[in-house]
């Protein structure tokens, strides 16, 4: 207990315990705590409420953490760090799962921490955040330090250049000019879902069409139902009512295996738990959905064909790995994500659903994956891109579906809507006439 706390990207909470217990638990390890055999529940809840108040989270302290949204979980974790009275608090990408409002609240909390004399290390990909809260900035690239500067003596542009090691223009992936087709491959009518967990948001009457070779962006704040929509389409979320027409035929998909057979694949948001098989090699992860097709008589594996397929993808997506045999667990986050992308596309799907494909990965990999998504659509594949990064959504999508608490707020065509409009819609204000 040196007073250093890390607020990690992958939330280190106990999902099976309540909010209050999560906040209180580290205190039990403190020496100066008055310890008894029993825990005073009321006191525990009081402590929890006090620190939750500091991060501006109003929530039932008896709720199980697993039932909270990602953003709420993050705030609970920050509250816990505050309860621990950490002297140095490290934040690792704290805002990536947060809504704008929640992020702003977090910045206020961080400024308060500074006033209390606490040192804050803030790890982020978002350069604007650095200039919002940091006094000094250090840029790391490929495992080594590039520069450390006071924020007053540098600019976002300069920092981006340091980060990328290449020019700024390349950072923005602009969508290709070729127009998407007009043939709808997927029509969703009035979709209602039953929440599968207490955290998932029920969809309430979402309708849209997805055309051939189109990128349909799905945007919304935390708890808008983006992941639920994606999962409903591949049969991983219970559909209550509504109709889905796939390639013109009414379909009800039962599970992801059936979806894959029909040419729909889903690239999960949760890379660690739903994306990768960490113990397997890069090759095995990529060819996993194809293994029957690549095997002799569908049974006996053919390593040389598998190797070739895997190597093609490694080159195509520029996956940085010592070899195809390397276990994925040894790759960086960005490269792991590329492996998931490769696997999703290895089966030559007709529809790909990307769920937050660039969250929590470095800028270089982000750009490469965005460019790849654009390329995939150009080849005629229809893409649903669920993202909380509005720049990503705006730059890549042909049309945008805006969700809010399980309802569709509207569908906007590219060019019809700008960054400011979108922010206004998402923050619940009426659109400017």
Positions that interact with another protein (CB under 8 A): 234, 236, 255-257, 259-261, 265-266, 268, 273-280, 284, 288-289, 291-292, 295, 298-301, 343-344, 347
- Least distance to another protein, CB of residue 291, Å: 4
User: Among residues 175 and 338, whose Cβ is nearest to another protein?
Assistant: 338
Nearest to another protein of 103, 236 (CB atom): 236
Burial class (CB in 10 A: 0-12, 13-18, 19+), 172: exposed
- Cβ proximity to another protein: between 40 and 292 the closer is 292
Nearer CB in complex with another protein: 189/347: 347
- Residue number, 63 or 291, with CB nearest to another protein: 291
192 beta partners: 204, 241
Least spacing, CB of residue 297 vs another protein, in Å: 10
> How far is the C-alpha of 17 from the C-alpha of 38, rounded, in Å?
16
Contact call for residues 376 and 364 (beta carbons, < 8 A)? no
Measured distance CA(376)–CA(59) in Å, rounded: 42
Q: What is the closest distance, in whole angstroms, from the C-beta atom of residue 358 to another protein in the complex?
A: 18
Q: Pick between residue 235 and residue 406 the one whose CB is nearest to another protein.
A: 235
Q: CA–CA separation, 413 vs 180, rounded Å?
A: 12
Residue 65 sits at φ, ψ, to 5 deg, of: -60, -35
Q: How far is the CB of 357 from another protein (least distance, A)?
A: 14
Provide, rounded to whole angstroms, the least separation between the CB of residue 131 and another protein: 37
The four Cα atoms 6, 11, 15, 20 give a dihedral, to 10 degrees, of: 50
Contacts with 76 (C-beta within 8 Å, 6 or more apart), sequence order: 13, 19, 22, 23, 52, 57, 59, 65, 68
Burial of 427 (0-12, 13-18, 19+ CB in 10 A): exposed
Smallest gap from residue 142 Cβ to another protein (A): 25
Rank residues 266 and 412 by Cβ distance to another protein and give the closer one: 266
Q: Could you tell me the smallest distance in angstroms from the CB atom of residue 2 to another protein?
A: 20
Closer of 220 and 289 to another protein (Cβ): 289
Cα 9 to Cα 123: distance, rounded to the nearest angstrom: 10
Supply the angle between the helices 303-316 and 333-346 in degrees, to the nearest 10.
120
In angstroms, what is the minimal distance from the CB of 258 to another protein? 8
Are the C-beta atoms of residues 96 and 70 closer than 8 Å to each other? Answer: no
Cα separation, 22 vs 61, in Å, equals 10
Shortest Cβ distance from residue 96 to another protein (Å)?
21
Q: Are 177 and 213 in contact (CB under 8 A)?
A: no
- Residue 29 or residue 300: which is nearer to another protein going by CB? 300
**Helix or strand or coil: residue 83?**
helix
The least CB distance from residue 273 to another protein, in Å, is 6
CB 215 within 8 A of CB 396: yes
Identify which of residues 289 and 357 has a Cβ nearer to another protein in the complex. Answer: 289
Burial 395-409 (b: 16+ CB within 10 A, else e): bbbbbbbbbbebebb
Asked if residue 171 lies in contact with residue 187, where contact means CB atoms within 8 angstroms, the answer is no
Pairing of strands 264-267, 351-355: parallel
């Amino acid at each position: 207990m040196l007073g250093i706390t890390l607020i990690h990207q992958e939330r280190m909470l106990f999902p099976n315990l309540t909010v209050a217990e999560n906040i209180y638990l580290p205190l039990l390890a403190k020496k100066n705590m008055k310890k008894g055999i029993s825990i005073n529940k009321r006191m525990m809840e009081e402590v929890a409420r006090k620190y939750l108040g500091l991060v501006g989270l109003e929530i039932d302290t008896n709720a199980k953490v697993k039932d909270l949204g990602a953003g709420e979980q993050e705030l609970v974790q920050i509250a816990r760090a505050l309860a621990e009275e950490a002297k140095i608090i490290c934040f690792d990408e704290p805002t990536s799962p947060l809504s704008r409002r929640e992020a702003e609240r977090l910045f206020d909390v961080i400024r308060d921490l500074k006033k209390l004399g606490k040192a804050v290390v803030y790890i982020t990909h978002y350069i604007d955040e650095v200039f919002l809260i940091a006094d000094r900035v250090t840029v790391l690239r490929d495992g080594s330090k590039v520069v450390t500067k006071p924020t007053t003596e540098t600019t976002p542009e300069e920092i981006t250049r340091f980060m990328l090691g290449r020019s700024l223009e390349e950072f923005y992936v602009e969508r290709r000019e070729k127009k998407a087709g007009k043939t709808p491959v997927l029509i969703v009518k009035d979709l209602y879902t039953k929440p599968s967990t207490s955290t998932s948001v029920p969809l309430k009457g979402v309708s849209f069409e997805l055309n051939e070779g189109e990128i349909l962006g799905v945007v919304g704040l935390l708890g808008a139902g983006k992941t639920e929509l994606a999962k409903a389409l591949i049969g991983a979320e219970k559909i209550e009512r509504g109709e889905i027409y796939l390639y013109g035929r009414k379909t009800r998909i039962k599970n992801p295996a059936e979806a894959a057979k029909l040419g729909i694949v889903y690239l999960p948001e949760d890379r660690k738990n739903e994306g990768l098989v960490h113990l397997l090699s890069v090759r095995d992860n990529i060819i996993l959905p194809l293994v029957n097709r690549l095997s002799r008589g569908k049974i006996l594996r053919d390593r040389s064909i598998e190797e070739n397929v895997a190597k093609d993808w490694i080159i195509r997506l520029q996956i940085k790995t010592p070899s195809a045999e390397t276990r994925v667990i040894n790759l960086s986050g960005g490269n792991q994500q590329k492996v998931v992308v490769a696997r999703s596309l290895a089966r030559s799907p007709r529809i790909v659903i990307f769920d937050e494909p660039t969250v929590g990965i470095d800028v270089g990999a982000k750009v490469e994956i965005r460019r790849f998504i654009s390329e995939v659509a150009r080849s005629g594949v229809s893409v649903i891109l669920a993202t909380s990064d509005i720049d990503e959504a705006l730059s890549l999508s042909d049309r945008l579906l805006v969700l809010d608490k399980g309802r569709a707020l509207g569908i906007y065509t590219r060019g019809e809507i700008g960054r400011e409009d979108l922010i206004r819609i998402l923050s619940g204000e009426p659109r400017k006439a």
